Chains A and B, each alone.
Chain A
Amino acid sequence: MNFNFINLQPYTNPQYFVYLMIGLVPIIIGLYHGHRLKIYEVAFSLVFLFLIFDGDKWQQGVNLIIYLLFQLLVSYWYLHYRQNGKNKTWVFYLAVVLAILPLVLVKFQIAFPKAPIPGVLAFLGISYITFKTVQVIMEIRDGAIKELDLSTYLRFLLFFPTFSSGPIDRYRRFAKECNVAPKRDQYLADLEIATRNLFQGFLYKFVLGWFFGTYWLPKISKAALIAGAANGGLKFSWWLVAYMYCYSMYLFFDFAGYSLFAVSISNFMGIHTPVNFNKPFISQNIKEFWNRWHMTLSFWFRDYIYMRFTFFAMKKKLFKNPIRLSQAAYLLLFLTMGFWHGLTWYYIVYGLFHAIAIIINDCWLRYKKKHKEQIPSNKFTKWLAIFVTFNIVCFSFLIFSGFLSELWFGWK
């Protein structure tokens, strides 16, 4: 059969937005008049999801459906268990392990493509759905979620604007909004922000991101490889420094641009998906940086790993010294984040690097607090702090980029 499949990966090119906007028109008109057209919304989302997984990507789509059924089974089984008033810790652990199991298998599959695990295939969005299901299980455990409405839950997991790469929303927040229409005044304000975000996204992703990532980066990369080969040793060169800054800018504008799109399209649909970036490069220290960079991810790790771990450890008095405890928790958090990015040395080193950076940063903050009088604090120190933080962050992105691996070992 000679059927022509249209396959659309989210937000990858300007035409995509034309289709998207046409699809959004009824939703916008509906919300403006105070009606949420739920059935249309679902159909609209399903069409765009279908367009991600049709054509030669159909196997990914099948895996997505199986994966979803599995996640629903785990969530509802655990919910049922909790509703019966039982609350064994090992059952909770089991539920969490089951929820992350598919993702772990997929990560292994990507890291070791030569040893295929039968039936396991990475599909777009798996990481971000996993964040959502794990979050729900944890809140069921806490008793914060007592009911899971199936259609709301599915709409939450498959919420199309944030499907591929976040931002990561929270179930209870989403559930409050997704069945009602916002007030007209509120919605008009949303539209205004949404339009601005959309165009800022264009500027970020298609203009600035393009310059850094598509225009300059390949040239710098080539030059760095040549200069590296010529210099020998650790293959350092000034081009590598250029690569570090250029890649960092690319990473920011590309991802921040994408996130702006996701937030903007959510807003058009009357959903206030949390923002992902808040001027990360004006951070004065690493801790502040993680409150401004990929915020929904770092908040997820903060709330569901760091805080839970410290709460648990403190309650059980596992650590005598709270400073040691927080250091251990940072290591746990950032190593998990590193492994989540992928089972490759540079992602794990990236995690480790940030753990160490934030531990040192905490030591410094404590020292500063103690010696408030001796340490000057003025405009200059502020800019110095921003400068130092920026460079440390860019260096961590150089690790993250995998370019060092290419430079040293010839693979990425």
Chain B
Amino acid sequence: MSNKRRLWQIFGPVLCAFILLLVIFLMPWERTFSKDAIYQAANSQTTTIFKGSRMKQNAFDDGYVPFYGSSELSRLDPLHPSVLAEKYHRNYRPFLLGGPGSQSLAQFLGMQGTAKQLKNKKAVVIISPQWFTKIGQDPDAFSLYYSPLQACNFLLGIKKTSVSNRYAAKRFLQMPETKGVIKSGMKTIANGQSLTSTQRFLLENQRRMLNNEDKFFSTFQLRDRIQKINGHAKLLPNTYSIKALDQIAKQQAAINTNSNSFGINNKFYKMRLNKRALAKLKDSQRDFNYTKSVEYSDFELMLHQFAKQHTNVLFIIPPINQKWADYTGLSESMYQKSVNKIKYQLNSQGFDKIEDLSKRGSEKYFMEDTIHIGWRGWVAVDQAVKPFMNQKNEPYNYNMRNYFYTKKWQNKPGMIKTTDKYPAVENRKAALKEK
């Protein structure tokens, strides 16, 4: 056998494999997911789904409404929004987006792929004041939610540099995960320049491959919670009644919190709060401060994205388990100040659908554990979600203010009072009336 032929036999297959792979990943594949797969994905809360595009796009076209949040979304008890929507055949189904550590910056990045699908539609955001620590987004958690695909979407979606996208690029550069051409693109934007044509070319190819990867593999590691939801739905009364639901919530919570005096879910208590941990946590949160945080500006990025999409958003601000806060020494007045600061940021730009539950942490069975809403808390959430979902879809306009990206705003002490009237809110109300 000649040497040339031998070489070809050795490297030929490798070469063919690479060419085939490249062709496959650069082809514009289309994929639609089955209804079951979407339903599973909507309730799975996996990072793959969070980071992807196609599944979310498919779902939002199909009547799913994004519920942006964090770890409270995984408190899947019988009163959870997903269970209620299923049981009472609502015209929407929640698409749960977020988990432990998915703060505003991660959420903002995750929102990049679905701007078209959410245009003039609705979204629900559960904002945890716990996000608003001094450094904001935890870099380690960010690594978990960082999606190169969405980073490409973010960069390629920029038509003109603005305060908002320069701020975002700077923040992404502070996170450890941005690499390669994405990193260089972020630097370009952060410096206020536009992407070069080489950068665009590289990013577009990368995006195409990542989009294909997303289409091929996003159903790959779904967590199946459908059985659980169906099981929970059986516990609920057949006709919707707040009173009856509240009764079920109380029953369920009573069984599940009987191991401790905090009203914390037994499993959580046993797993996370052994004697040693409890002793450590006593009075440990005295100095926590959520009023001064870079998170306020990160949060503004999310708002900016909603404004761009003209999305109608319902914001829910949960409380903290009062008994727990007393134990750890977390200051109630500090908490309220941060809530007010958040509300000011929302109201003054026209985001006026806010369900403020932050003062209800002492109601029995309202919380599932330390800081996560559950049982009766979910019933309260539903009383805001239900009417919100009955509204017609229509474009919403907001008055965005770059002031919220400044250090000055980040470090402003929390407001004690918020006035009820804001020009932006009033203007829009007036505009709507004219219609």
Note whether A and B contact each other (Cβ less than 8 A).
yes
**With contacts A2-B187, A215-B221, A229-B270 known, is A188 near B3, CB below 8 A?**
yes
Complex contacts, B270 vs chain A, CB 8 Å:
229-230
Q: Within residues 185 to 211 of chain A, which ones have a CB less than 8 A from any CB in chain B?
A: 188, 191-192, 195, 199
Contact B3 A184 (CB under 8 A): yes
A353–B80 Cα gap in the complex (Å)? 50
- What size tier do the contact residues of chain A reach? 10 to 19
- B169-219 residues with Cβ-Cβ distance < 8 A to A are 183-184, 187
- Given A4-B183, A215-B221, A192-B10 contact (CB < 8 Å): yes
CA distance A226 to B9 in the complex (A): 52
Q: Write out the residue numbers on chain B whose beta carbons fall within 8 Å of the beta carbon of A4.
A: 183-184
Query: Is B10 a contact partner of A226 (Cβ separation < 8 A)?
Result: no
Q: How far is the CB of A50 from chain B (nearest CB, A)?
A: 18
1/0 contact string of B1-33 vs chain A (CB within 8 Å): 001001101110010000000000000000000
B430 at the interface (CB under 8 A from A): no
Q: Residue on A with the closest CB to B274?
A: A229
A contact patch SS: helix
- Contact, CB under 8 Å: A191 / B10: yes
Interface: B255 (CB within 8 A): no
Q: In the docked arrangement, what's the CA distance between A184 and B3, Å? A: 9
A15 and chain B: residue at smallest CB distance? B180
Q: How far is the CB of B313 from chain A (nearest CB, A)?
A: 34
Residues of B in contact with A, size category:
10 to 19
Shortest distance between the CB of B151 and any CB in chain A (Å): 16
Most chain A CB atoms below 10 A, which of B6, B9, B187:
B6
Find out whether the CB atom of A195 lies under 8 angstroms from the CB atom of B11.
yes
Which residues of chain A come closer than 8 Å to B271, judged between CB atoms? 226, 229
What is the CA–CA distance of A215 and B221 in the complex, to the nearest angstrom?
9
| Contact among A2, A188, A199, A215 with B6 in the assembled complex (CB-CB below 8 Å) | A188
* Max count, chain A CB within 10 A of own CB: residue among B10, B183, B221: B10
How close is B287's CB to chain A, nearest CB, in angstroms? 26
Give the residues from 1 to 46 in chain A that come closer than 8 angstroms, CB to CB, to chain B. 2, 4
Expressed in whole angstroms, the minimum distance between the Cβ of B332 and any Cβ of chain A is 32
B178 to chain A, nearest CB (A): 11
Nearest chain B CB to A14's CB is how many angstroms away? Answer: 10
A195 touches B187 (CB 8 A): no
Q: Which residues of B contact A184 (CB under 8 A)?
A: 3
| Chain B, Cβ-Cβ closest to A189 | B6
- B residues adjacent to A (C-beta < 8 A): 3, 6-7, 9-11, 14, 183-184, 187, 221, 270-271
A residues at B contact (CB < 8 Å):
2, 4, 184, 188, 191-192, 195, 199, 215, 226, 229-230
Question: Could you pull out 23 A-B pairs where Cβ atoms are within 8 angstroms?
Answer: A2-B187, A4-B183, A4-B184, A184-B3, A188-B3, A188-B6, A188-B7, A188-B10, A191-B7, A191-B10, A191-B11, A192-B6, A192-B9, A192-B10, A195-B10, A195-B11, A195-B14, A199-B14, A215-B221, A226-B271, A229-B270, A229-B271, A230-B270
